[in-house]
Structure 1
Amino acid sequence: MSRRRAVSTAVTTALVGGAFAGLLSVTGTPETAAAQTAAPEGKAPTTPAAPPRASAPSPVPMATGPESQDPASDPGTPGRTPRPPASGAHSATSVMQIVAHPDDDLFFMNPDISQTIRSGTPLAAVYLTAGESDGVNARPRDAASAKADKAGYAEARQNGIRAAYSEMATGSRTSPWDRVAIPTAGGGLAELDTLRADPKVRLVWLQIREAGSTNQYRPHSLNGLWHGRIGTLESQRSSGTPVAADFRYTKDEVVATIAGLLDRFRPTFVRMQDPSPGIDPKTGKIGDHQDHLYGARFAQAALARYAELPGHQRIGVQNYLGYPTSVLPHTLDPETAGDKLKTLKTYAWLDGVNDCGTPAGCGDLKVAARPAGRGWTATVRYARGTSTSWVQRDRDGVLHAFSVLDGQLAAWRKPADGGAWSGPTLLPGGGMDTGVTSVSLPDGRIAVYGTRTLLDGGPAGYRREVVSTEQTAPGGAFGPWRSLGTPERNDAAGTSDISAPAVTVGADGRATLVLRDSLRRLNAREQGADGGWGPWRVLGGADVVGDPVAATDAKGRAYVFASTPKTVLFWAQHVSGGPLTGPALTALPPTTLALSASPAQNGDGVRLWFRKPASGDLRSADFSGVGPVSRVTELPGGVAGFGPVSGGDGLLAVRSRTGFLATAPRGRTGAAGPAWKLEKFLFAGAPDAGTDGVAAIGLDGGLHWTPAPAGPGVPNGRGVAAAE
């Protein structure tokens, strides 16, 4: 045994059970016969036929010992129906991460990972490929003389990940793990590691062969398998793994394998990489690693399949940007970035002390040459789900909140009399991407806009498009989804890289929808007097990143803002109902790109909220008419953190450096800054602050509500509405 880390390996097997439907067309996830798919304009929604089910693996004896006694990892029996969560009660929070390579999670998902571990939430990290690369575990200066050993390098990366997670969970990188081999629902084998000191922390190694190149096409890869250019993709087992035999997967078997792990761990929240990272405008190649992109698409397909399993656990999803963060402003404050870098240094085995007891090495020496990556440890950035406009009040005073669970729109209601939130109700039609925006219409109805992903394998193949739904009457039910299409030609041209939509509504009820395309310009579609939609037109802008935001001032003039790495661009109406003109320069300094906008409190113009790079400090700027920024305000005593600032009429709401929701009364800022209060729960996406309070979606899928301080005409009362 080694001096500082003892790893106990139990070579045994435990069943991953469950039978899963065939690869979905993600135009719907019918939990009932009434579930409908979204339809193009003028066509009725349809209900897809049930796809064929894949057979489950043959039963094998359950393991004995710590892993088999962990209720959260109990896979049950083949074809079982999982216990549905109790109606109206919170589901036990559980997180699952799906990444392509060892270290993708540490570079692109932290500090969310360490915050989850500190909260005591069960976490399972799934690594799709072995990450074997060229098999050389050496710093670049030593690579020429090092011997290539793909199995050994894969093991070294595993050792580094185990050390990093041990350190995040226990403070010691040598805390031991129990390691077992488990059969997968795709017919192969995987390694499951459980941290002995904290069995809620688990790592799963699928050990599929990686591409071996960032963006040069290699047919034997997830890329080739996804596109059907190869029939099967082989394994790459690490040295020292309890998985004793090689295996191969078809495309469907990879999907079944990931879906089986979802059934095993029953997460309420899934973290994954970005399935549409765009094309690098300088090279014309995929902007991210091809394994990141196609690994995320396999995860999407598995989530859609799992959503078909009766009684499954409903899931929220968060996507993370990868390599494209290199050229974008840093989002993390120095202390948080330092903690993240420390974890990467542990993974990279900087001290060279062989405390894992294996010849392969105890970490990834390729990373040791640059443990911060290309600025990655100073940043975390969500690829989707940054809207702060997902709560609306109808004309009767009822509050409505919207999120996405299981790829379906989830809706909550809060009565006008100050009663508790109820919900969620899941609208028919699946494939919805994380993050939606909502608007109130002049006739009292509410409309919701978002994007959805189609995995139908038809002529268009993989595709993302904008969709909308409206209440059929004020306070009534929502109608079927309506497809508004996409400005993208096809997936190959830009990896379907479109932003979430921003929407403005004029006094006549006509909406204008704006989004960013893969060429990093804004595009718009405008609604006509008859309710139909005109063609996409280019609004312009250059090097736009992230999601645009929109707001309307008290005079009915619409404003649209979009970030670039260096500043913010804006478009505005000279008069209510007029055309959007722009882009115009705001003269703002760089931001962290995540924006939000709201009507100015003085009734003239709008206020834009944003953060200062590399600090997380809050800033705001006022805009009036179509001129440039008139005033920039810095809020002292900030809470750091990252992501959008939600500036409602009554409260400010942000993600704090701890990951908890932080709220403060708006307009009550003293010399020391806002009086921030931490709501101690972790949440997904961005909060939405309004007159009455702040809404946030927890990692349990439930709606969490923080009321505004009591005052004249302001209802008070704390409440939480759980995911059913």
Structure 2
Amino acid sequence: MPRISRRAPLAAAALAALLGITAGTLALSAESSDASDVPSRGVPEEKAVKPVRTGGGSVVQIMAHPDDDLFFMNPDTLLSLRSGHSLTSVYLTAGESDGRNARRQDPQPRADKAAYAEARQNGIRAAYAEMATGNRTSPWDRTSIATAGGGRAELDTLRAKPHISLVWVQLREAGSITGDRPHSLHGLWDGRVDELESQLAAGSPVREDFAYSKEQVVDTVAGLLERFRPTFVRTLDPTPGVKDGDGKLSDHQDHMYSARFAQAALERYAGSPGHPRVGVQTYLGYSTGGLPHSLDPATVAEKLRALNTYAWSDLEDHCGDPAGCGDRKVAARPAGHDWAQSVRYTRTESTSWLRQAPDGLYAFGVLDGRLAVWRKPAGGSWTGPVLRGGRGLDGSVTSVPLPDGRIAVFGTRTVLDGYRRDVVMLVQDRVGGGFGGDWRSLGTPERDDAAGTSDISRPAVLVGRDGALSVYVRDSRHRLGVTSGTAGGGWSPWRSAGGSGLRGDPVAASDAAGRGYVFAATATSVLAWTPRGPVGGPVATGLPATTVALSAAPDGDGVRLWFRRPDSGAVRVARFSGSGRASEVRELPGVAGYGAVGAGGGRLAARDRTGGLATAAATGTPGWRSAGGPLFAGAPAGVPGGVAAVGLDGRLLWTPTP
């Protein structure tokens, strides 16, 4: 097996000069250029298969295995395919497992890893073709392309819709969920092996084996980003945490480390000139199956249809390949371990990123791992985004108003060198001013990455009338941690605020009297930290199970908590006033969907089951109205005068309301 030199593609790298991007300052975000004529770094021009790109945003999904997208990213994958915009799915490993393409209860065939990898490819091609065209046999063009890592990968293009493509990097998989397998993405990331070998599928146009170093894998993924020029990237969670009982990793090690390689490639890509600005969304993997179902029955049926096609459930020879037309292991349990019934984002569902200030409106997002700031002066139009702060910012941010009129922004940041995640804060320099300072680290409640994979939530923040700040995060032990300080002063060490079995991100809000409430979901209910003296708790709210995504907003002498009903996606609301027991719990009929609900300015904003934006009045008998528009990232938010979301193309989508 030849060793691939990282320096081999440097001569061709000059071909990867990127088109310049002109930043727009309209009511939306920066425009993205079309990259259809931009070859990938490291791909000889005469060999390059140029990607077909459409306007309106380009999505790249980076995963470990065939089916990670169908189980954990759908329905978002399906909605992207239906949108007509560009979608590329990248699979880092071959997913060869033990090489036996059969259900456990069936007679076991002879192990053939190349054939099983090919069968899984056939299943993905059929599932994508069916989702995109309605016909699972819609043909694909399979080609071999050079990678920026010095090897080759397979590129498949859907002939009927050439803006849809699949890339098979075909590295060896770990072959175990949590077992000690040094020859894996995990071992390569940690430096236990110097290189990871390929596992080529039987029918792949890539014919020569290769082996990549850690740096070459990063080069390869960064080169694919340069080739397909996404405005939005999806991965699984790079910090999935550990199980409460035995402390073992809660997700497949390949899921976790494929996401970390994607992080490293995205950081490198963010530094390349002229690329479109990129948003990132991460998804919960295996552990989503232990939580209440987040999807309505019709959406689950669509997910299962794609999974049954991938699993080759009918055994009809529709592909004509002796390797098989799908993944028969999945045919034993097409829904996985309750994975098909849910989709969950990690650290990307803030509803407090839109903020009214004395001088107008501000919106905050994360593009290229940096804070993106849009601004709308009173009586003026939106401008932006302007990128601020250093790189490495995760997902989405929380913003809070300070007593002096300034805005403070909080988030989490990933540092790849030594791998750790910490909580960070950036404060506006003055009322009406900018956010040009440096992020201030508030540390982390985690001891180290090894203890819990740096699994901390997005922060929730309470602001006292005296300017005192309390920042809460869920830690990897599924408890609530808190630190306190001021915008310009010192901060306390992290301490435990109690609770157990917490999931997702905590949320916080203060009532008109300045009393603060903090809420965090469990698998069966919601816990509250209440305003009796210093915020204390936890207190059982008496609420039923939720889909975990929460949002909170002030409501006179109390606060309201917004959430969704499991197995339905219907929006529910509960009111709290001075205690941790919920009152006025009711359901708002008329919309099903998933994700957090934005509440502000007397309006509600939510994702409906088609992926679009739906709005309603926050009080009275709401009548949900579809606002239409493109797919968006994270959760929407509202302020007096309108609701907003950030599109998959990095644009701010603003919908004025009465």
Q: Same fold (TM over 0.5)?
A: yes
Cα separation, partners in 2 of 1:642 and 1:19, compared to 1, 3 Å:
farther
- Tell me the alpha carbon deviations over residues 181-220 of structure 1, each in whole angstroms, 9 at most, x when there is no partner: 0000000100000000110110000000000000001010
Matches within 5 A, 1:64-213: 67-68=49-50, 70-72=51-53, 92-143=56-107, 145-213=108-176
| Matching residue within 527, 550, 562 for 1:595 | 550
- Tell me the alpha carbon deviations over residues 430-485 of structure 1, each in whole angstroms, 9 at most, x when there is no partner: 000001000000001000000000011xxxx1100000000111111222210100
Alignment-derived partner of residue 581 in structure 1:
536
- Tell me the alpha carbon deviations over residues 388-420 of structure 1, each in whole angstroms, 9 at most, x when there is no partner: 000112223x10100000000000000111x21
Alignment-derived partner of residue 493 in structure 1:
451
**Distance in 2 between residues matched to 1:250 and 1:442, nearest whole Å:** 52
| Matching residue within 446, 464, 467 for 1:506 | 464
Work out whether 1:446 is the aligned partner of 2:407.
yes
Alignment-derived partner of residue 353 in structure 1:
316
**Distance in 2 between residues matched to 1:410 and 1:17, nearest whole Å:** 33
Alignment-derived partner of residue 344 in structure 1:
307
- Amino acid in structure 2 at the alignment position of 1:334: P
Alignment-derived partner of residue 551 in structure 1:
509
- Tell me the alpha carbon deviations over residues 236-286 of structure 1, each in whole angstroms, 9 at most, x when there is no partner: 000010001000100000000000000000000001010000011222211
How much does 1:663 deviate? 1.0
Question: Which SS does the other structure have where 1:345 is aligned?
Answer: helix
Alignment-derived partner of residue 700 in structure 1:
649
Alignment-derived partner of residue 463 in structure 1:
420
Work out the percentage of aligned pairs sharing the same amino acid: 62
The range that moved more, 673-682 or 430-439, is: 673-682
Question: Which SS does the other structure have where 1:377 is aligned?
Answer: coil
- Amino acid in structure 1 at the alignment position of 2:454: S
Q: Is the 8 A contact 1:96 1:125 kept in 2?
A: yes
**Distance in 2 between residues matched to 1:206 and 1:130, nearest whole Å:** 7
How much does 1:691 deviate? 1.4
How much does 1:428 deviate? 2.9
Alignment-derived partner of residue 275 in structure 2:
312
How much does 1:633 deviate? 1.2
Aligned pairs, how many?
627
Question: Which SS does the other structure have where 1:439 is aligned?
Answer: strand
Q: Is the 8 A contact 2:13 2:43 kept in 1?
A: no
Cα separation, partners in 2 of 1:392 and 1:447, compared to 1, 3 Å:
same
Alignment-derived partner of residue 685 in structure 1:
634
**Distance in 1 between residues matched to 2:221 and 2:15, nearest whole Å:** 11
Cα separation, partners in 2 of 1:438 and 1:374, compared to 1, 3 Å:
same
**Distance in 2 between residues matched to 1:58 and 1:423, nearest whole Å:** 34
Question: Which SS does the other structure have where 2:124 is aligned?
Answer: helix
**Distance in 2 between residues matched to 1:563 and 1:16, nearest whole Å:** 53
Alignment-derived partner of residue 286 in structure 2:
323
- Amino acid in structure 2 at the alignment position of 1:476: G
Cα separation, partners in 2 of 1:334 and 1:184, compared to 1, 3 Å:
same
Alignment-derived partner of residue 628 in structure 1:
581
How much does 1:16 deviate? 12
How much does 1:142 deviate? 1.9
TM normalised by structure 1 equals 0.85
Q: Is the 8 A contact 1:668 1:674 kept in 2?
A: no
- Tell me the alpha carbon deviations over residues 610-655 of structure 1, each in whole angstroms, 9 at most, x when there is no partner: 0000100111000000241122011122x11100111213211000
| Matching residue within 472, 477, 496 for 2:429 | 472
Work out whether 1:662 is the aligned partner of 2:619.
no
Question: Which SS does the other structure have where 2:128 is aligned?
Answer: helix
Question: Which SS does the other structure have where 1:142 is aligned?
Answer: coil
**Distance in 1 between residues matched to 2:74 and 2:189, nearest whole Å:** 28
Cα separation, partners in 2 of 1:660 and 1:58, compared to 1, 3 Å:
closer
Alignment-derived partner of residue 606 in structure 1:
559
**Distance in 1 between residues matched to 2:10 and 2:506, nearest whole Å:** 46
Matches within 5 A, 1:713-724: none
| Matching residue within 328, 351, 361 for 1:365 | 328
**Distance in 2 between residues matched to 1:627 and 1:215, nearest whole Å:** 39
Work out whether 1:389 is the aligned partner of 2:352.
yes
Cα separation, partners in 2 of 1:270 and 1:56, compared to 1, 3 Å:
closer
Work out whether 1:425 is the aligned partner of 2:378.
no
**Distance in 2 between residues matched to 1:689 and 1:20, nearest whole Å:** 44
Q: Is the 8 A contact 2:47 2:145 kept in 1?
A: no
Matches within 5 A, 1:400-419: 400-417=362-379, 419=380
Q: Which runs of 5+ in 2 are unaligned?
A: 1-8, 22-39
- Tell me the alpha carbon deviations over residues 284-312 of structure 1, each in whole angstroms, 9 at most, x when there is no partner: 21100000000000000000001111111
How much does 1:703 deviate? 0.4
TM normalised by structure 2 equals 0.93
**Distance in 2 between residues matched to 1:542 and 1:529, nearest whole Å:** 29
How much does 1:71 deviate? 4.6
Alignment-derived partner of residue 601 in structure 2:
649
Alignment-derived partner of residue 202 in structure 2:
239
Q: Is the 8 A contact 1:16 1:183 kept in 2?
A: no
How much does 1:675 deviate? 3.5
**Distance in 2 between residues matched to 1:107 and 1:443, nearest whole Å:** 47
Question: Which SS does the other structure have where 2:631 is aligned?
Answer: strand
- Amino acid in structure 1 at the alignment position of 2:121: Q
**Distance in 1 between residues matched to 2:12 and 2:277, nearest whole Å:** 18
How much does 1:364 deviate? 0.2
How much does 1:677 deviate? 2.4
